[in-house]
Amino acid sequence: MHRRVMLGVVLFFVAVVLLEGNGYVIHHDLYEHGLQYSEVWAGKDNLIKIALYQFVIFTILLIHKSWPVWILTEVFWVTSSQDLFFYLVWNKGVFPAGDWAWMPFFSIFGHWTTLNQSILSITSMVFVGFLLWLTKELKLARFLQTPTRRKTKP
């Protein structure tokens, strides 16, 4: 079971690298050939990417039936951690120097940088991982408790 869960996690990260590779082609190669940014095509691209991420995440859930892996992959996606992989893998570790203005967090806080994104991604994954571990430990502790039976009077 543990081996299958690890395989699901590895497959998820392979899917992240491949999906972000598509973003690299758009945001690096096509801009060099004159592509002009437009909300029309960017919105469609984002919707397709959202659908593909959810397809991959739910496929992993259906195949591996591991709720903790599903929850962690959803947290990874919701916190936009995949953007870190985009810069780390496809942009050869070169991260933007200024604000990440395309992020929803930028519109909320008015400021969002690589450091903010890294802190959000790491702390959210660690926090949710800790909650999942704690839940498992509490279930195990309850399971290991010996039930007490009341003696009934004859």
The span from the CA of 66 to the CA of 54, in Å, is 15
Mean pLDDT over all residues of the chain?
81
Domain residue extents for the chain: 2-144
Q: What is the pTM of this model?
A: 0.67
pLDDT over 90 (residue 115): yes
The span from the CA of 69 to the CA of 98, in Å, is 33
- What is the reported pLDDT for 116? 93
Residues 69-104 pLDDT 10s: 788 888 888 888 888 888 888 888 888 888 888 888
Residue holding tokens 């039930």? 147
Residue 67 banded pLDDT, cuts 50, 70, 90: confident
Mean pLDDT of the region 54-60: 83
- Give alpha helix (H) positions in 29-113: 31-32, 39-64, 67-78, 82-85, 104-109
